[in-house]
Structure 1
Amino acid sequence: MTAPLPPEMTGPSAWYGPDMLAREQEWILPLSPAHVAEVEQAARAALAQGIDIARIGKADFPLPTLGPVLAEALEELLTGRGFVLFRGLPVDDWPIELSAAAFVGIGRHLGNPKSQNGKGHILGHVRDLGLASNDPNVRIYQTRERQTFHTDSCDVVGLLCLKAAKSGGHSALVSSMTIYNEIHRRRPDLLPHLLRPVATDRRGEVSPGQKPFFEIPVFSVHDGLISVIYQRQYINSAQRFEDAPRLSPETVEALDLFDALADDPALNFTMVLRPGDLQFVHNHTILHDRTGFEDWEEDTKKRHLLRLWLAPESARALPPAYAQRYGSVTPGERGGIILPETRLHAPLTPI
Structure 2
Amino acid sequence: MIDPADWRGPEVKNSRDWVYQIDEADIADIEAALAHVERNVPNLVSMTRDEFPLKVFGGKLKAVKRQLNDGLGFVLVRGLPIDRYSREQVAAIYLGIGLHLGKPVPQNGKGHLLGHIINLGSSMANPNQRGHESKETLRYHTDECDVVGLLCLHEAKAGGASTLASAVAIHNAIQAERPDLLQVLYQPWYIDRRGEIPEGLKPWYTMPIFTYHEGRLMVWLEPGYSASAQRFPEVPRYTDAQLEAMRLVETLAHDPRFRLDMTFGKGDIQFLNNHVILHSRTEYEDYPELERRRHLLRLWLTSEDTRALSPWHTARHAPGSRGGVYLKGIAPNIAINPV
In structure 1, distance between residues paired with 2:243 and 2:51: 48
Spell out, residue by residue over 1:216-262, the C-alpha distance to the aligned partner (whole angstroms, 9 max, x if none): 10001110111001111111110001111321111111111111011
Which residue type is aligned with residue 185 of structure 1? A
* Alignment partner of 1:349 is 2:304: no
In structure 2, distance between residues paired with 1:285 and 1:146: 21
For 1:97-246, what aligned pairs fall within 5 Å after superposition?
A: 97-246=88-237
Spell out structure 1 runs of 4+ moving beyond 4 A.
none
2:12 maps to what in 1? 20
1:6 maps to what in 2? none
- In the TM superposition, what is the alpha-carbon distance from 1:325 to its structure 2 partner? 2.5
In structure 2, distance between residues paired with 1:93 and 1:130: 30
Which residue type is aligned with residue 159 of structure 1? L
- In the TM superposition, what is the alpha-carbon distance from 1:50 to its structure 2 partner? 4.3
2:280 maps to what in 1? 289
The alignment's C-alpha RMSD in Å is 1.1
Stretches of structure 2 lacking an aligned partner (at least 5 in a row): none
In structure 2, distance between residues paired with 1:247 and 1:44: 54
1:336 maps to what in 2? 324
The answer as to whether partners of 1:128 and 1:143 remain within 8 angstroms in 2 is yes
Spell out, residue by residue over 1:316-351, the C-alpha distance to the aligned partner (whole angstroms, 9 max, x if none): 2111111233224x6xx4100000022111110011
In structure 2, distance between residues paired with 1:223 and 1:348: 39
The alignment partner of 2:176 has SS state of helix
2:86 maps to what in 1? 95
The answer as to whether partners of 2:19 and 2:78 remain within 8 angstroms in 1 is yes
The answer as to whether partners of 1:165 and 1:294 remain within 8 angstroms in 2 is yes
- In the TM superposition, what is the alpha-carbon distance from 1:148 to its structure 2 partner? 1.5
Provide the identity percentage: 42
Stretches of structure 1 lacking an aligned partner (at least 5 in a row): 1-8
In structure 2, distance between residues paired with 1:300 and 1:285: 34
TM normalised by structure 2 equals 0.98
Match of 2:263 among 256, 272, 291: 272
1:3 maps to what in 2? none
In structure 2, distance between residues paired with 1:181 and 1:144: 32
TM normalised by structure 1 equals 0.94
The answer as to whether partners of 2:302 and 2:322 remain within 8 angstroms in 1 is yes
- In the TM superposition, what is the alpha-carbon distance from 1:107 to its structure 2 partner? 0.2
In structure 1, distance between residues paired with 2:41 and 2:213: 43
1:4 maps to what in 2? none
Spell out, residue by residue over 1:285-344, the C-alpha distance to the aligned partner (whole angstroms, 9 max, x if none): 00111111000111111111111100112122111111233224x6xx410000002211
* Alignment partner of 1:326 is 2:317: yes
The alignment partner of 1:120 has SS state of coil
Which residue type is aligned with residue 215 of structure 1? T
The answer as to whether partners of 1:166 and 1:294 remain within 8 angstroms in 2 is yes
Match of 2:293 among 290, 294, 302: 302
For 1:45-84, what aligned pairs fall within 5 Å after superposition?
A: 45-84=36-75
* Alignment partner of 1:42 is 2:30: no
Spell out, residue by residue over 1:24-55, the C-alpha distance to the aligned partner (whole angstroms, 9 max, x if none): x1111110101011112212321233431222
The alignment partner of 2:309 has SS state of coil
The alignment partner of 1:165 has SS state of coil
In structure 1, distance between residues paired with 2:120 and 2:303: 30
The answer as to whether partners of 1:154 and 1:326 remain within 8 angstroms in 2 is no
In structure 2, distance between residues paired with 1:285 and 1:327: 22
Which residue type is aligned with residue 99 of structure 1? V
The answer as to whether partners of 1:137 and 1:204 remain within 8 angstroms in 2 is yes
1:5 maps to what in 2? none
In structure 1, distance between residues paired with 2:45 and 2:270: 20
Which residue type is aligned with residue 57 of structure 1? T
The alignment partner of 2:12 has SS state of helix
In structure 2, distance between residues paired with 1:54 and 1:148: 31
The alignment partner of 2:138 has SS state of coil
In structure 1, distance between residues paired with 2:335 and 2:44: 9
The alignment partner of 1:26 has SS state of coil
- In the TM superposition, what is the alpha-carbon distance from 1:208 to its structure 2 partner? 2.2
Matched length: 339
In structure 1, distance between residues paired with 2:201 and 2:242: 24
